[in-house]
Structure 1
Amino acid sequence: MNYIDPHIHMVSRTTDDYEALAAAGVKAIIEPAFWQGQPRTEVGTFKDYFSSLVGFERFRAAQFGIRHYCTIGLNSKEANNERLAEQVMDLLPLFATKEGVVAIGEIGYDDQTATEEKFLRLQLELAKEVGLPVLIHTPHRNKKRGTYRTMDVIEEHGISPHMCIIDHNNEETYREVLDRGYWCGFTIYPGTKMGNARMVDILQVAGAERVIVDSSADWGKSDVLAVPKTAKLAEERGIPQEHIELACYRNALTAYAQSGQFQESDWLNPLPVDQRNLFQGNSVLRGGQTPRVDEGSSEYLIQ
């Protein structure tokens, strides 16, 4: 079975993780812009970060047979620095229409402040302007209140639920999210958010319509193979194969294909991997390492 991990932060991971993803059948990934663990203090750091998502990280993934996409946005945690957030808002339109950008996100609430809501609303309007789906981060604290409030705000802005992926759901929130017509994301993250077994329990009860499984693997204790591992457990527990495919592949494809940037043919008919290729003079290899060169690869290329 093929998989998509539609929420994973590979800028925080190693090339070994890319190899593991490819070996497990993950064909495509989406990397949302997010908080990197330490607050950024200058707008230039955001510019460089966004550039890496649409540039080197896309290249790095391809060198291991993974198709990389991203979402662009100002995350809720950093939205509270209002002066800096205003400058970041000026950057976002420059990146939102670049190749491989499939949504505005991840955006939403953290502490659920008025300032966070201000920038949530501004980015919802940006999504409408550029015609992209929205990826929503739901808060870790007071999740139910924040999730419901987020959906209310989205509806105030006239954005259809089918254009929004509400992520980081749990047993407390998912029914309302589904009932209101949104794509319902679940993050399989060890010790918090949602475990593999809990996710399978939900699939048994709720089915897989508009359900999306992801890893949100990042710089913390997390698992890049959360999607295929959840699929395996679901199969062992008798979940119908078509439900597993929906939750771990097909629904993400349908939701993000609305961007016009996310097409199955991109990874089902990929270009051969050639690790001799460079990105701005840089390789994914180090001195003495043997490059992978698939049959049919192009000549040596400097990008």
Structure 2
Amino acid sequence: MYIDPHAHMISRTTDDYEAMAKAGIVAVIEPAFWIGQARTNVGSYRDYLAHILGFERFRASQFGMQHYCCIGLNSKEANNEELAEAVMEILPGFAAKDHVVAIGEIGFDEQTQLEDKYFRLQLDLGRELDLPVMIHTPHRDKKRGASRSMDIIIEHGVKPEKVVIDHVNEETVREVLERGFWAAFSIYPHSKMTAPRMLEIVRSYGADRLIVDSACDWGVSDPLSVPKTAMLLAEQGISAEDVRRVTYANALSVYGQSGQMREEDWTKAAPVDQREKYAGNTILRGGQSPRVEDARN
């Protein structure tokens, strides 16, 4: 079994869900995210958060997968102060809903003053709600951004063991681990982190507090990155226990602190029944036969 703890499934197809479930992914976590173009008003943000908490959770269930969310204002849109202020007013209500396992993904993009302001406010929200936090580290000037993020987290009294620093690479992994945070690696086909590079990270640092994710979205990315990386690690001699930790157990440990994510959610889940509907809608189209299970395999 695998967990993909960073997957933007709103941008993926039903084929992706089918392939992920077939590959052994039992749960995904969907962080609130930039949609590729600027949102123009808080209403579009409200609808987006409602979608990933509602229909996307239903859609995952129709393929036998559990779906969880992180709620937050992304760093790009923190630079639109009018929008950011309005989003901050609605975030607490969404963050208190079922299946929300963290505040995130939040952090820095261009490392502006406004990004700093809303990063701090959302850290305070996570602490108030006693939720883990998922941190987006910038793709430019990553080392400075990661160090600055961790400094601010400590300053705001958020415990490192409740924080996942994501998009970690060789440049940032040592500091993340030495300061007591969880280190997550987004495995991409050509950028961010690749599976062979992840193999060397595990060889160098072990499996403690390391997490593999796909960060799959609307761009060139691979929703099967987690099982593919697990396969490579196993083939190259990493122990079965360590493979399990970086592709399953560590994610469950940190996000399970929310009280919203438990192994029983998928080991004791109801059978798949694609006759079910969400707000009157089904994932099936005309003439398609529903998948109906009598019992979990």
Q: Same fold (TM over 0.5)?
A: yes
In the alignment, residue 211 of structure 1 is paired with which amino acid?
A: L
- Aligned: 1:29 with 2:44: no
Displacement of 1:192 in angstroms is: 1.1
Question: In the alignment, which residue of structure 1 is the partner of 2:131?
Answer: 132
Aligned-partner Cα distance in 2 for 1:242–1:176? 24
Which residue matches 1:241? Answer: 240
Taking structure 1 as the reference length, the TM-score comes to 0.97
For 2:5 and 2:24, locate their aligned partners in 1 and report how far apart those are by CA, in whole Å: 14
- Structural mapping, 1:92-103, within 5 Å: 92-103=91-102
What is the aligned residue count?
Answer: 296
Equivalence map 1:169-188=2 (5 Å) = 169-188=168-187
Partner of 2:148: 149
Paired residue for 1:6? 5
Letter in 2 for 1:199: M
SS at match of 2:261: coil
Which residue identity lines up with residue 15 of structure 2 in the other structure? D
1:167 equivalenced with 2:200 (yes/no): no
* RMSD over aligned Cα atoms: 0.8
Kindly provide the CA deviation profile for residues 120-146 of structure 1, in whole angstroms up to 9, marking residues without a partner as x. Answer: 000000001111000000000000000
- Residues of 2 paired with 1:130 and 1:287: CA distance? 44
Q: Deviations over 1:167-219 (max 9, x none)?
A: 00000000000000000000001211100100011111110100000000000
Q: Which runs of 5+ in 1 are unaligned?
A: 298-303
2 CA distance for matches of 1:243 and 1:66?
23
Structure 2 stretches of 5 or more lacking a match?
A: none
CA distance in 2, matches of 1:238, 1:50: 41
Q: CA 1:143 to 1:20, structure 2 compared with 1: closer, same or farther past 3 Å?
A: same
CA distance in 2, matches of 1:150, 1:179: 15
State the 1:265 CA deviation: 0.4
User: What secondary structure does 1:258 align onto?
Assistant: helix
Which residue number in structure 2 is paired with residue 270 of structure 1? 269
Shift of 1:270: 1.0
Output the TM-score relative to the length of structure 2.
Answer: 0.99
**In the TM superposition, what is the alpha-carbon distance from 1:237 to its structure 2 partner?**
0.6
Cα distance in 2 for residues equivalent to 1:228 and 1:200:
13
SS in 2 for 1:71: strand
Deviations 1:27-58 (A, max 9, x none): 01100000010110110000000000110000
Q: Which whole-Å CA distance do the structure 2 matches of 1:288 and 1:182 have between them?
A: 50
The aligned counterpart of 1:300 is none
Runs of 4+ in 1 over 3 A off after TM superposition: none
Structure 2 counterpart of 1:277, which letter? Answer: E
Letter in 2 for 1:264: E
Distance (Å, rounded) in 1 between the aligned partners of 2:290 and 2:137: 41
The residue aligned with 2:40 is 41
Return the alpha-carbon distance in structure 2 between the equivalents of residues 242 and 82 of structure 1: 46
- C-alpha separation in 2, matches of 1:152 and 1:107: 15
Q: SS at 2:103's partner residue?
A: strand
One-letter code of the match for 1:65? G
Alignment partners' CA distance in 2, 1:230 and 1:39: 33
- Cα offset, 1:296, TM superposition: 5.1
Deviation per CA, 1:252-284: give whole Å up to 9, x if none: 000001000010000011100110100000001
Distance of 1:236 and 1:176 partners within structure 2: 28
In structure 2, how many angstroms separate the alpha carbons of the residues matched to 1:230 and 1:9? 19
Amino acid at match of 1:251: N
